[in-house]
Copies of this chain bind each other. A is one copy, B any other.
Amino acid sequence: MRYLIPMTQISKSPYKGCRDLFPKLKREQDYLFSKMREVASLYAYEPYDGPMLELVDLYMAKSGEELINEQIYSFKDRGDRFVAIRPEMTPTVARMVAQVHRETPKPIRWYCIPNLMRYERPQKGRLREHWQFNCDIFGGPEVLSEIEILELIKDLLEHFGATNKHFSILINDRAIVNELFSNVLKVDEQTSYKLYKIIDKSKKLPEQKLEVLMDEILSSEQKANLKKYLSLNSFEEVFSFLDIKSPLRDLIEKVQETELLKYLNYDSSIVRGLDYYTGIVFEVFDLHPDNRRAICGGGSYANLLQIFKESPLQGVGFGLGDVTLRDFLITHDLMPDFTQPDDAILVTYQADEFEKRAAQVSRTFRQAGFGVESNLKPIKTSKAFQLAEKKNYSYLILIEGPEIVFKDLVNKKEVRSQTINDEIWEILN
């Protein structure tokens, strides 16, 4: 065999900002994924997935500028196509829906859990690679679609044991912000675009820096109105400040007397960074003092199919990353302990002559649907017990003669038998 061994030692570390998911971490992730799938099914969302690579054009048309220019992994393939590793799922789902929306009954409800990559400085809760639960509803009626998506998120987090002590849903409406821009501030489209960026950053920037940014593009009267808007802190306040009919107003009316209402809070700074949102926008916010950050975001969009020259199709969607969700659950002590492997029957034998018998016994239990770890070489009884304990297994089988010794380690029972008899099956079932 020839090996192409490089001169330098190969690194054992994962690529920067990516994770090696060793079994404990992967079991945690599988736990997150299984709840995501479960709750998606409760709402009759159908699974889909798309390619990890897309042509860059798709993102040029759909995503925010920052994402394209700074945060995307893009390169030319050998056929000179300019491609990118998917940094988010919305452009892909739009591309796919554009193919089938004409012949598919509405609403279209889809979910997926893709792995995504963004080129960014790794920090807590933000890695270069993560998996993201995405749900979208296309072609449903406005407001009821938003409520369904918000209830789905609430149910998901409640399935993990979270309550309104742990998270809040901060919500806003771009229709309201657009009203502010057009009829209160009376600014043009270009200024509106800049103002979105300012509002998006308003809670993170120091007061003084914010003032400077506003002064650059607004008159003192416009600035006063914008500051008034930014100070709005409740649904009552915003609905009286801008007394217009808006999706958010309808939504709040419809969710009176529901559990969802307990989670909703108005936040004037929520506008979402991605350019395609047009209506209600929201972020799920962790209430723990050690982890005050958004763990999920989404909103409504009206024009996603436009770039494919398809007729408009209203939609609502969100993305929830596995890294932020895991941080959230760990912060609130809601992550079960996945240190141990899944339970299995440990089958051991004490001398080479029993190797064949051990293999047969392992096969029999597997055929009956039980997980079996076969110890593939003879070991002493004491070692067998140590191994079962180390892996937290409930059942141990010792083959040390003509008899099978079956140990129920949890209930401290023992069965000795020439065959796998009814007593053993009864304990297992």
Residues of A bordering B, CB below 8 Å? 1-6, 8-12, 14-16, 18-23, 26-27, 29-30, 41-44, 46-55, 57-58, 60-61, 65, 68, 73, 75-79, 81, 83, 85, 95-96, 98-100, 105, 107, 109-110, 112, 115, 117, 119, 129, 140-141, 144-145, 147-148, 151, 155, 174, 189-190, 193, 254, 258, 275-278, 303, 306-309, 341-342, 344, 355-356, 359, 363, 366, 369-374, 376-377, 387, 390
A11 proximity list for chain B (CB < 8 A) = 55, 57-58, 95
Contact B51 A15 (CB under 8 A): yes
Which 6 pairs across A and B sit closest by C-beta, in order of nearness?
A18-B51, A75-B75, A44-B373, A23-B46, A21-B49, A144-B376
The SS class assigned to the A binding surface is mixed
Interface centre among A49, A60, A105 (most CB of B within 10 A): A49
With contact pairs A95-B12, A140-B376, A306-B3 given, residues A371 and B47 touching in the complex (Cβ less than 8 Å): no
- 18 further interface pairs, Cβ-Cβ under 8 Å (given A5-B307, A144-B377, A145-B376): A2-B189, A5-B306, A6-B57, A10-B57, A10-B61, A14-B51, A15-B51, A16-B79, A16-B81, A20-B95, A26-B112, A42-B366, A43-B366, A44-B341, A75-B75, A141-B376, A144-B355, A144-B376
> This chain: how many copies in the complex?
2
A55 proximity list for chain B (CB < 8 A) = 11, 15
With contact pairs A15-B55, A26-B49, A377-B144 given, residues A372 and B105 touching in the complex (Cβ less than 8 Å): no
